Amino acid sequence: MSEAKEKKKGWFSKIESREDALKVVKDTSLVFFVVAALQTALSFLVGFSVLFDAFIYVVGSFFLRRYHSRAAAVVLLVLAVVGAGVTFANKAGANLGGGNNVFLALIVLWAAIRAVEATFKLRGRFSAGPATNEEPRSTG
């Protein structure tokens, strides 16, 4: 077996390095861009009220991808939680005017959770700092 063989990174793998976190941010922002495109296309069939969510997904995805924004990730998570709640309520019999695709709601919710995790790790544990591992010397 070759030691150069890397572990396959997927949607359920741990974020163990800065590179992993950056990949998760890139992948999750792509998910939100795709969902926004789907909602925009859907707006021509069901009405233009869906465009508000699509707009939030596009703006949030932009800030997530470009600036690794924790605030954008949290806003996307809140939108995903509300969307999943409405979807599950609709499946339970309520008519709240939202989606009915449970699978898509779960994908968006999982992507939002991963985006929040990755952005917080990028600003915390994996923040770009000094390149050395030496401890600072105290003068005194």
User: Residue 29: which residues within 8 A CB-CB, separation 6 or more?
Assistant: 61, 62, 64, 65, 115
Q: What is the rounded CA–CA span in Å between residue 38 and residue 67?
A: 24
Average pLDDT over residues 25-38: 97
46-97 confidence digits (pLDDT tens): 888 889 999 999 999 999 999 999 999 999 999 999 999 999 999 998 888 8
Please determine, for residue 139, whether its predicted confidence score (pLDDT) is greater than 70. Answer: no
Q: CB of 111 within 8 A of CB of 80?
A: yes
DSSP 48: G
On whether the pTM is more than 0.85, the answer is: no
- Please give the residue that has the higher pLDDT: either 32 or 8: 32
Q: What is the rounded CA–CA span in Å between residue 40 and residue 140?
A: 63
The pLDDT score that the predictor gives to residue 8 is 59
Q: Which two tokens stand for residue 99?
A: 């989606």
112-135 confidence digits (pLDDT tens): 999 999 999 999 988 875 544 444
The pLDDT score that the predictor gives to residue 127 is 83
Please determine, for residue 31, whether its predicted confidence score (pLDDT) is greater than 90. Answer: yes
The pLDDT score that the predictor gives to residue 98 is 77
For the chain, domain boundaries: 18-123
- Please give the residue that has the higher pLDDT: either 93 or 11: 93
The pLDDT score that the predictor gives to residue 61 is 98
